[in-house]
Amino acid sequence: MQAGGAARFVPGEMALVLDPTGKRYLICLADQDTLHHHLGTVQHADIIGQLDGARVRSSQGRVFTVVRPRLIDAILEMPRKSGIVYPKDAAHLLAWADVAPGQRVLESGVGSGALTLALLRAVGERGQVIGYEVRSDFLELALSNVHAQANPRPTNLLLREHDIYTGIPDQDFDRVVLDLPEPWRVVPHVRAALKPGGWLAAYTPSIVQAGHLVETVRATGRFVQIETNEVLLRGWHIQGQAVRPEHEMVGHTGFVNVARLVGEL
Ligand code: SAH
């Protein structure tokens, strides 16, 4: 994934430029390019070769700051054709499904690859993410989004064009993570593909989907710790006497459902 803080900015890398007021601009560094801003232009060439957190001057002498984007900054900006799992929900899913370094994770559908990037970060280089997706155009988009963020390119991601409702050809997963219209159709296959003690996680935009999934999971008699959560995130504006919640917040994204497979009696 992203190089550590000691590495210098190189061409082709994403950089987050903060103007003197803190406004953010995500750019892809290229030797000849320029960021145009009303407080002056910033040459990419002045950023390339600098360390994370570097201060550079615009053509008007104003100070801009350049940092490596957080994964969530990059995910929110990347091209998408599908709905994505937003960072607040992805973070919750990773924690509640206990996704950890070294695990082998199955993800379906892959969509734009937003959740794929979060999963790759969580499992680390020793882990593996296998993604099933029915649409080849989504596979291409997800792969290009992953490659844009992950340098060097991850060798532990395997994407397959496959309809997961028909079955799970791979096995021995520590986690199965779903973002599909009908996740309950995967439950019969999950029992063979997921290791006992492993977690199933499913993101569902609608509570009707969540209900159907949870009842299907419960009816198998093979899952425990069945939990459904909604994450409400409220940012706060803190400046002098003006200390208050942000005026606007995201009203709804979806529900995160998790359940844990156990052995047969
Ligand atoms: N979590 C993704 C978004 C997934 S959108 C992200 O964060 O970017 C849902 C995806 O599921 C779509 O790309 C859709 O093509 C795919 N999909 C739908 N049914 C499927 C199936 N039966 N098997 C595999 N993928 C499927």
pLDDT in tens, 68-82: 999 999 999 989 999
The CATH code belonging to domain 14-67 is: 3.10.330.20
Whether omega before 196 lies within 30 degrees of 0, making that bond cis, reads no
Separation of CA 186 and ligand 1 centre (Å): 13
Q: How far apart are CA 52 and CA 76, in angstroms?
A: 20
Sign of CA dihedral 249, 250, 254, 257: negative
Residue 85 CA: which ligand 1 atom is closest? 7
Query: What confidence score (pLDDT) does residue 1 get?
Result: 43
Q: Which residues line ligand 1 (CB under 6 A)?
A: 82-85, 108-109, 111-115, 132-135, 138, 163-165, 179-181
- pLDDT (mean) for 49-66: 98
Mean pLDDT, rounded, for 212-239 = 97
Task: Kindly report the CATH number that applies to the domain delimited by 72-261.
Answer: 3.40.50.150
Ligand 1, atom 22: nearest CA belongs to which residue?
A: 163
Question: Which pLDDT value is given to residue 116?
Answer: 98
Closest ligand 1 atom to 111 CA: 13
For residue 111, how far is its CA from the centre of ligand 1 (angstroms)?
5
What average pLDDT does the segment 205-227 reach? 98
Copy the structure tokens of residue 82.
């599908």
CA pair distance 237, 217, nearest whole angstrom:
41
Which of 106, 107, 180 to probe ligand 1 with, by most ligand atoms within 8 A of CB?
A: 180
Owner of token pair 């063979």: 192
Centre of ligand 1 from the C-alpha of residue 136, in Å = 11
Task: Give me the residue spans of the domains in the chain.
Answer: 14-67, 72-261
Contact partners, residue 248, CB within 8 Å, separation at least 6: none
> How far does the centroid of ligand 1 lie from the alpha carbon of residue 200, in Å?
16
Q: What is the DSSP string of the chain?
A: ----TTSBP-TT-EEEEE-TT--EEEEE--TT-EE--TT--EEHHHHTTPBTTEEEE-TTS-EEEEEPPPHHHHHHHS--SS----HHHHHHHHHHTT--TT-EEEEE--TTSHHHHHHHHHHTTTSEEEEEES-HHHHHHHHHHHHHH-SSPPSSEEEEE--GGG------EEEEEE-SS-GGGGHHHHHHHEEEEEEEEEEESSHHHHHHHHHHHHHTT-EEEEEEEE-----EEEETTEEEE-S-------EEEEEEE----
For 93-125, how does the pLDDT look when each residue is reduced to its tens digit (9 = 90+)? 999 999 999 999 999 999 999 999 999 999 999
Q: In ligand 1, which atom is closest to the CA atom of 138? A: 13
Cα 162 to ligand 1 centre (Å): 10
Structure tokens at 159: 């994407």
In what side-by-side order are the strands of the sheet with 104-108? 157-161, 128-133, 104-108, 173-178, 194-204, 255-261, 223-230
Nearest CA to ligand 1 atom 3: 111
Non-local (6+) Cβ contacts of 195 within 8 A are 172, 173, 174, 261
Q: How far apart are the CA of 133 and the centre of ligand 1, in A?
A: 6
pLDDT computed for residue 60 by the predictor: 98
The band of 152, judged by pLDDT with boundaries at 50, 70 and 90, is: confident
